[in-house]
Amino acid sequence: MKNEKESATRSDFIRDIIKEDIKKNKNDGRVITRFPPEPNGYLHIGHAKAICLNFGAAKEFGGHCNLRFDDSNPIKEKEEYVESIKKDIRWLGYNWGDRECFASDYFEQLYEWAVQLIKDGKAYIDDLSAEEIREYRGTLTAPGKESPYRNRSVKENFDLFERMKTGEFPDGARVLRAKIDMASPNINMRDPVMYRILHKPHHRQGDKWCIYPTYDFTHGQSDSKEGVTHSLCSIEFEDHRPLYDWFLEKLHVYHPQQIEFARLNLSYTVLSKRKLMQLVSGGDVSGWDDPRMPTLSGLRRSGYTPESIRAFCERIGVAKRDSVVDIALLEYCVREDLNKRAPRVMAVLHPLRVVIDNYPEDQVEDLDAINNPEDPDMGIRKVPFSRVLYIERDDFREEPPKKFYRLAPGREVRMRYAYFITCVDVVKDEKTGKVVELHCTYDPATRGGNAPDGRKVKSTLHWVSAAQAIEAEVRLYDRLFVKPNPLEGKEDFKTYLNPKSLETLTSCRVEPSLKGARQGNRYQFERLGYFCVDSIDSTDEKLVFNRTVSLRDQWAKIEKSMKAGNG
RNA sequence: UGGGGUGUAGGCAAGUGGAAAGCCAUCCGCCUUUGGAGCGGACAUUCGGAGGUUCGAAUCCUCCCACCCCAGCCA
């Protein structure tokens, strides 16, 4: 019932255009999109937006979405990245079937098209150096000037281009340029480079080529070859569109429609492969899949579900304006998903020993605990209770501030699914004064958590039985940066890295039902948050959990506001 | 001082001449054996600004302002 609204047709300006095109029977009503990553890095949540849009829209309108690797620059691209990209897209829940394409598969055709333009007098070989080309290009406000090589004969251009191809010239010696207009107000039209000499092996083509087409000469024609009807790309390519149009027109080939939309920005992180790469290579994170990274592999490892990421992408919408989405929305989306699906479990992160003085020395009771109150079908499990327990250090205050409902000397609280207990004594370290143990009494009549006399307690604590608990490592991940927009200050963005983005806790205690928890399993640690068994470091001998996201925390807010002003 | 874009609440985002959707965040209640979840409520007299057209303007026109992108042989 709740999911009915999911099927409600979502709408954005791009889907509106597609609907309109279908209505007008443009392209015979076909819808072909494509997701065109360059295999030079790992996919991040910003790519997820594009993936959901391209695959999502294609599916909604009965079309197809190609996965096409835009691999025209062998300097940056690697097989490792194409594999990770495929894995991430599949994980996100999308399939491209046999529609797996590579721009490099079109190199032969692209070469022929280049020759065609040369023969039509629409492209020429330029011997200017890179620096000279830049100088000749002019500036934003001043027109450029024509290269002295601009008017070579077709014959000479063709000859030179062939010799570029056969490897006669060193890198950078010459380029092939489109002959358009050096005075165009659109800089992209000032005789853009189409081919450059790069004596570099290509991850798929090997040593076959030593000249490579530029993105500008590759992208539009690749879309064209694939019969893409709606070529959705980000906004910075808007003023490249006239150039793509120019190539397509001069080549007399099918002309896809390009539509631009704004890329995603997320608060408290960065979304640029270049910046993310810097974090990886600088050792600021453990790798592309560090759970703090906004990469899909990082989000996956931290416990995010593909469903939650898709839901996020739906909620943020698609538009053209620059925007920064609050990361709280992403966090909301995982909580929403995991709340319904994640089994609940008790885990104590900062253990404080509690002895129940009046509980029989050797007794252990197996108490019923509900696996997920949101989903009765998930059943119940047994949790052992005994004389010595651990509770969360934060759940006890010797001098409780107002609004602190948890345990304190003389105070009675409920141990979840167990008994009411009352704190009767506090044991401290003589030297440091640190509380090391609590003594409590329990009320046998409250077994299961209810008092027959109707007596209420103000809070319920999670706990773990000392003897049966399993020791585990828990990694508390937090936002990567301390500033909503780390790129906004004058300093290098790394200045704003959150020094507390990872806190590793090595002696946590988790309930025994977690024995055998498998990598990737997700749980809610009651009252704490959602956690996921680390997919790399966790073993049967030593469980390692990553915090995906904390639970919403009313008390934390109260405490914070008390500290901020009212206290 | 070239060209291309974009301005609706703290953050996203609908709206396309006829009473400013929705979501997140925030706040307030209710409920609760998770201070979770859930439920209910509050949150833009006004749409970057100023004029104009119109019975009527966020929507149309004019001017102005702000922000983003482009001077890679990156994509």
Which of A462, A488, A516 is the C-terminal boundary of a domain?
A462
Indicate whether A142 and A238 sit together in one domain.
yes
Indicate whether A164 and A102 sit together in one domain.
yes
Indicate whether A173 and A278 sit together in one domain.
no
pLDDT single digits (tens) A284-316? 999 999 999 999 999 999 999 999 999 999 999
Question: For residue A39, what is the domain's CATH number?
Answer: 3.40.50.620
Rounded Cα distance, A459 and A484, in Å:
34
Q: Which nucleotide is closest to the Cα of A193 by its C1'?
A: B73
Rounded Cα distance, A352 and A394, in Å:
9
Indicate whether A427 and A514 sit together in one domain.
no
Query: What's the Cα-to-Cα distance from A560 to each of A393, A460, A501, A554, A565, rounded to whole Å?
Result: 18, 21, 19, 10, 9
Q: Is the pLDDT of residue A5 over 80?
A: no
CA of A368 to C1' of B48 (A): 60
Q: Would you state the pLDDT for residue A489?
A: 78
Indicate whether A222 and A322 sit together in one domain.
no
Indicate whether A228 and A99 sit together in one domain.
yes
Q: Is the pLDDT of residue A145 over 70?
A: yes
Q: Which nucleotide is closest to the Cα of A273 by its C1'?
A: B75
CA of A232 to C1' of B47 (A): 28
Rounded Cα distance, A93 and A101, in Å:
19
Which residues neighbour A511 within 8 Å (Cβ) at sequence distance 6 or greater? A345, A346, A347, A383, A384, A464, A465, A468, A469, A470
Number of domains in chain A: 3
Indicate whether A10 and A111 sit together in one domain.
yes
Which of A261, A282, A297 is the C-terminal boundary of a domain?
A261
Indicate whether A135 and A178 sit together in one domain.
yes
pLDDT single digits (tens) A61-78? 999 999 999 999 999 999
Which residues neighbour A189 within 8 Å (Cβ) at sequence distance 6 or greater? A180, A181, A242, A243, A246
Phi and psi dihedrals of A543, rounded to 5?
-75, 140
- Residues of A with catalytic function: 38, 263, 273
Q: Is the pLDDT of residue A2 over 70?
A: no
Q: Would you state the pLDDT for residue A566?
A: 52
Question: For residue A365, what is the domain's CATH number?
Answer: 2.40.240.10
Strand B nucleotides where any atom sits below 7 Å of a protein CB: 1-8, 10-16, 22-27, 33-38, 67-75
Q: Which nucleotide is closest to the Cα of A405 by its C1'?
A: B35
CA of A1 to C1' of B57 (A): 40
Indicate whether A290 and A222 sit together in one domain.
no
Indicate whether A66 and A208 sit together in one domain.
yes
Biggest CA–CA distance in chain A, Å, is 102
Q: Which residue is nearest nucleotide B67, judged by alpha carbon to C1' distance?
A: A322
Say what percent of chain A tops pLDDT 90: 96
Query: What's the Cα-to-Cα distance from A334 to each of A47, A144, A304, A522, rounded to whole Å?
Result: 18, 52, 6, 11
Q: Which residue is nearest nucleotide B10, judged by alpha carbon to C1' distance?
A: A326
Which of A232, A261, A290 is the C-terminal boundary of a domain?
A261
Indicate whether A331 and A284 sit together in one domain.
yes
- Determine the structural domain holding residue A370 and report its residue range: 347-462
Do residues A334 and A551 touch, judged by C-beta distance below 8 A? no
CA of A259 to C1' of B61 (A): 28
β-pair partners for A412: A422
Do residues A226 and A32 touch, judged by C-beta distance below 8 A? yes
Q: What is the pTM of this model?
A: 0.96
Indicate whether A257 and A312 sit together in one domain.
no
Which residues neighbour A135 within 8 Å (Cβ) at sequence distance 6 or greater? none
Q: Is the pLDDT of residue A358 over 60?
A: yes
Do residues A434 and A426 touch, judged by C-beta distance below 8 A? no
pLDDT single digits (tens) A373-409? 999 999 999 999 999 999 999 999 999 999 999 999 9
pLDDT single digits (tens) A469-486? 999 999 999 999 999 999
pLDDT single digits (tens) A482-496? 999 999 878 899 999
pLDDT single digits (tens) A333-344? 999 999 999 999
